[in-house]
Structure 1
Amino acid sequence: MKFFFFPTGLAAMILLACTMKETANVVQTVPPTTLAEASPFPVGFAINPSPMQNNARYRQTVTQEASSITADLAMKPSRISPQKGVFNFEGADYLVDFARSQKKRVHGHTLVWYINTSPEWLKQLRDSTELETTLREYIQTVGTHFKGKVASWDVVNEAFDNNQGAIRRDSVDKSGRTLFNVGKILGNDYVARMFQYAHKADPGARLFYNDYGQETIPAKLNAIVAMATDFQQRGIPIHGLGLQMHISIDTPDAGIETAIRKLADTGLLIHISELDVAMNPGKKKDFIATPALIEQQYQKYKFVVSTYKKVVPVSQQFGITFWGVDDGTSWIPGHCQCTDYALPFDAQFARKRAYQGFLDGLH
């Protein structure tokens, strides 16, 4: 048996070379540090001007984690046109300017909504010709203002009834009072005309139809798919479908996968456009987020992301957008008058187990 002895200097050099090689391998395999870096498709947040301007942690989180933004309220009709003939783009322009300065995509939300956030003056219109003209002029003004700055629009939001899967014909409040309803005044095909007006205003923008409950209401899902197919056959300029995905830890996985798959089968771009996962679907006033519930939320986020990535062809993956940034500014507690923690960041902007669920879903 022979023994070999390296001179001290040579041995040290070999050891150093091996160490440097292993270090290089480690550096190359360090996981991405943000959602935007980790995801092969755009990741977005719905944001508002006030916290962007006044909360440094909120702004920092959006800047670091997002590759796309959606205006939560600032681009809704009631904010842009609070009075007839008056247009106020200040809040929306601020968000667009921020996004462009950070090289982030802007998704516009929304040009037409059947009632919610429609300005009060618009809700008073009942004549079909006057309403049609007003909406066309509104879309033309807003679309032209943001032309070349906004990559895409939710042209019409939530037009379908939850029960029959038909265009909304009646809309009433909790007291039974009839409310303003675009579909009732303009007829079922008004959605197609709104898309035509939006395309004329900005031919370069991608145009989406956006709705909620598609993962739990088969009639609505099927009606939306049928409308999208009809639009494609008729040459109506529709480019994508928005699946809002306001879900909870109890939302069946099968329904989520069915909705994503059926929308993807249209061949259009698919946007999970308003994602959050409620932990307190029962709206309990004394709710506490237990470790078991936190784990369920982690698994639901992971399932949504992995299913989207698996089912939607890469060419159709428009991205996933959270409806909000952190639990402290989420819309859910105010809506349900209860405690909930539906987003990937807590109120102090710390990454939650849900955040890891999104990352794990990618792999």
Structure 2
Amino acid sequence: MKFLFLLAALTSFLPFTDDVNEPIPVARPSASQTLAEASPFHIGFAISPARIQNIALYRQTVIQEANSITADVAMKPSRISPQKGVYKFEEADQLIAFAQSQKKRIHGHTLVWYIDTSPTWLKQIRDSTELESTLQSYIQTVATHFKGKVASWDVVNEAFDKQGAIRTDSLEGPGRPTFNVGKILGKDYVARMFQYAHNADPDARLFYNDYAQETRPAKLEAILAMVADFKRRGVPIHGLGLQMHISIDTPDAGIENAIRRYAETGLLVHISELDIAMNPDKKKDFVPTPELLEKQYEKYKFVVSTYKKVVPASQQFGITMWGVDDGTSWIPGFCKCADNVLLFDANYVKKRSYQGFLEGLKE
């Protein structure tokens, strides 16, 4: 009894912090712990301010399980500046206020993206001088507005195509305005966007964010070459985002290789948009079976344990789920199919995948 009393007294003096920008102390997972409590690094969700306001269980899950948040769309250019010269920060400010009230870190997403959330007025600019000046002004205005509130930014999102070249095309359909930033501004535009972001907020951590590095070696190598080039030239870059929109069939070797190669850069590593599909073939009559749920459990466990094992603690920026629950996930709308890709079902009940994530934190 004396030993137990002494142990309790000693543990009551373990250090802690309420600063969400500081590392979360290492904790040993238990059945009663949330993900954030169990993790030595930040755990995040990409969230919607409207759902935070209107869905009590959504809000409760975010508050309990995460200590970092990313806006799913509220901080993208089309929401911030729907018209030229007009800035609407209300939705994003609402998210910021929620995060601050709950002492959660805020990761900004995203300042420049070539595809669907760039506003139409911006896509219509074809002159390189005008586009450069406009993007510089946008980054300056937005990053300054959130200075001191946003800990980090995805400065540029998805600049490389699957062959590893800077994108000069668009995925948008016929008759829709394209926004071929790389074609208009040249392949070095990414470096200049990082410099503009750093000038606006020198204290923010700046990330490059992209997808499919675990399955497209050419893209992975191109990103690593860009990082090496930035370091040689002194371009400010602090981290890399692995989106990790993967499936139960994504090879483990590719996942581990991408995480390892990113860690070798010495930059912060963020698994920034994690979800794991069980229906990669997009079957219309898909029903999750116990076998598929077990595969998803194993894949979540592998991703989390690999990140924890491979990335040095000083480079572990954290893991962010792209969504909170299966009922509000972006995947079914994107694939036009049924799927259950996250840690909570549509009723906010923990799934087998949640246990996989938690067990990954133990290893």
Same fold (TM over 0.5): yes
Q: In 2 relative to 1, CA 82–293 (structure 1 residues): closer, same or farther, beyond 3 Å?
A: same
CA deviation map 1:22-67 (0-9, x unaligned): x97xx99882520100000000000011110000100000011100
| Partner SS, residue 274 of structure 1 | strand
| Partner SS, residue 82 of structure 1 | coil
Q: Deviation at 1:177? A: 7.1
Cα RMSD (Å) of the superposition?
Answer: 2.0
Q: Deviation at 1:180? A: 1.8
Matching residue of 1:94: 94
Matching residue of 1:49: 49
Written as runs of structure 1 = structure 2, the 5 A alignment for 1:269-288 is 269-288=268-287
* Mapped contact 2:124–2:178 kept (Cα < 8 A): no
Written as runs of structure 1 = structure 2, the 5 A alignment for 1:72-91 is 72-91=72-91
- Which amino acid in structure 1 is aligned with residue 156 of structure 2? V
State the distance in 1 between where 2:29 and 2:188 align.
52
Q: Deviation at 1:101? A: 1.0
The answer on 1:71 being equivalent to 2:85 is no
**Count of residues in correspondence between the two structures:** 344
* Mapped contact 1:115–1:182 kept (Cα < 8 A): no
User: Which is higher, the Rg of structure 1 or of structure 2?
Assistant: 1
The answer on 1:33 being equivalent to 2:33 is yes
CA deviation map 1:258-281 (0-9, x unaligned): 000011100000000000000110
* Mapped contact 2:207–2:241 kept (Cα < 8 A): yes
- Which amino acid in structure 1 is aligned with residue 225 of structure 2? A
- Which amino acid in structure 1 is aligned with residue 118 of structure 2? S
* Mapped contact 2:182–2:189 kept (Cα < 8 A): yes
Matching residue of 1:106: 106
- Which amino acid in structure 2 is aligned with residue 122 of structure 1? L
- Which amino acid in structure 2 is aligned with residue 82 of structure 1? P
| Partner SS, residue 69 of structure 1 | strand
State the distance in 1 between where 2:307 and 2:60 align.
27
* Mapped contact 2:123–2:177 kept (Cα < 8 A): no
State the distance in 1 between where 2:92 and 2:319 align.
21
Q: Deviation at 1:20? A: 7.8
Q: Deviation at 1:171? A: 2.2
Q: Deviation at 1:179? A: 2.2
Unaligned runs of 5+ in 1: 1-16
State the distance in 1 between where 2:218 and 2:158 align.
14
- Which amino acid in structure 1 is aligned with residue 196 of structure 2? Y
* Mapped contact 1:155–1:208 kept (Cα < 8 A): yes
Matching residue of 1:193: 192
Q: Deviation at 1:345? A: 0.5
Q: In 2 relative to 1, CA 250–85 (structure 1 residues): closer, same or farther, beyond 3 Å?
A: same
Written as runs of structure 1 = structure 2, the 5 A alignment for 1:232-251 is 232-251=231-250
The answer on 1:219 being equivalent to 2:186 is no
- Which amino acid in structure 2 is aligned with residue 132 of structure 1? E
* Mapped contact 1:172–1:178 kept (Cα < 8 A): no
* Mapped contact 1:35–1:65 kept (Cα < 8 A): yes
Written as runs of structure 1 = structure 2, the 5 A alignment for 1:137-148 is 137-148=137-148
The answer on 1:127 being equivalent to 2:130 is no
Matching residue of 1:168: 167
| Partner SS, residue 285 of structure 2 | coil
TM-score, normalised to structure 2's length?
0.91
Matching residue of 1:294: 293
* Mapped contact 2:29–2:358 kept (Cα < 8 A): no
CA deviation map 1:80-117 (0-9, x unaligned): 00000000001100111111111100000000001220
Unaligned runs of 5+ in 2: 13-27
* Mapped contact 1:287–1:340 kept (Cα < 8 A): yes
* Mapped contact 1:170–1:178 kept (Cα < 8 A): no
| Partner SS, residue 98 of structure 1 | helix
- Which amino acid in structure 1 is aligned with residue 355 of structure 2? Q
Matching residue of 1:136: 136
Q: Deviation at 1:225? A: 0.6
State the distance in 1 between where 2:2 and 2:349 align.
38
Matching residue of 1:159: 159
State the distance in 2 between where 1:121 and 1:178 align.
9
State the distance in 1 between where 2:221 and 2:85 align.
38
Matching residue of 1:351: 350
- Which amino acid in structure 2 is aligned with residue 38 of structure 1? A
CA deviation map 1:287-310 (0-9, x unaligned): 111000000000000000000000
TM-score, normalised to structure 1's length?
0.91
* Mapped contact 1:276–1:343 kept (Cα < 8 A): yes
The answer on 1:208 being equivalent to 2:204 is no
| Partner SS, residue 274 of structure 2 | strand
